[in-house]
Amino acid sequence: MSSDAIMWRATVLTLYPELFPGPLDASILGRGAAEGHWALDTVNIRDFSDNKYGSVDDTPAGGGAGLVMRADIMANAIDSVPRNDRRIIYLSPRGKPLTQAMAHDLSREPGLIAICGRFEGLDERIFEARQVEEVSIGDFVLAGGEIAAMALIEACVRLIPGVLGSASSLGEESFEGGLLEYPQYTRPREFEGRAIPEVLLSGDHKRIAEWRDEKRKEITRTRRPDLWERFSTDGPIRRSNNKEPKT
């Protein structure tokens, strides 16, 4: 990596910095960091507590169960981080869904600042006050945002040039072009009476490409009818036309 290149950087604001880097330090992601393609740092939100107990939350206005993370403490944590044109993302079930198109967009930006919530979430005022956008990794609830932040960061980092061993494989992955990936096979040629499809052993690259394309369509149609409907209506997705707007 050239010395004048801008490194993609993720900063994670969390109550549990000891959870990082975790799996982000393994395999191709760890190697990519070691080679200088990207970097990760954490900020402990408790460092900005205004009391000796290190608490960062309080009871919800209007009553109700649980605790809410305070806007003033969170603002101080956010303000301690150089933004450098990075988007601030709060991992939240009510956020817009994380998509491959969003990951591509983020991977081309300077990086991101991820906020990991706990308890009942953040005081609503912080979103407008610090231009925080909400992103969801699925229709389910976790105990905190740390695992979701790791998923978001991994989805972006693997798309950074130089991180993945073979960039050519990216174009045929699930969601690229709006379809799921085709089935994969390797040795042995036969496994418990199940053989590799003959077309894949034919050496006929045109037939293989056609078979894979049909399988992508078949799998998408049967397993993700929502994606298939979008593909049938709009055709293959062009990433350049799917820029996620900043908030």
Q: Determine the pLDDT at residue 102.
A: 98
Q: Above 80 in pLDDT, residue 203?
A: yes
Which tokens go with 128?
């407008």
Which pLDDT band, with edges at 50, 70 and 90, does 6 fall under?
A: confident
Q: Are strands 68-69 and 57-58 parallel, antiparallel or unpaired?
A: antiparallel
Between 179 and 168, residue with greater pLDDT:
179
Asked if residue 208 lies in contact with residue 200, where contact means CB atoms within 8 angstroms, the answer is yes
pLDDT at residue 21 greater than cutoff 90: yes
pLDDT of 175: 81
Average pLDDT over residues 31-57: 97
Q: What is the largest CA-CA distance in the chain?
A: 70
Strand 8-14 to strand 87-97: parallel, antiparallel, or no bridges (unpaired)?
unpaired
Q: Higher-confidence residue: 192 or 171?
A: 192
**What's the confidence (pLDDT) of residue 171?**
59
Q: Does residue 92 surpass a pLDDT of 50? A: yes
Q: Are 232 and 198 in contact (CB under 8 A)?
A: no
Return d(Cα 7, Cα 42) in angstroms, integer. Answer: 16
Give the residue among 129, 122, 107 at the shortest CA–CA distance from 247: 129
**118 and 66 Cβ atoms separated by less than 8 Å:** no
- Work out the mean pLDDT of the chain and round it to a whole number: 92
Q: What are phi and psi of 185, to 5 degrees?
A: -140, 155
Q: What is the mean pLDDT of residues 155-179?
A: 81
Q: Span 125-136, mean pLDDT?
A: 98
Is 60 exceeded by the pLDDT of residue 17? yes
Interval 154-174 mean pLDDT: 80
Q: Which residues pair with 42 in a beta bridge?
A: 12
Only one residue has tokens 């402990």, namely: 44
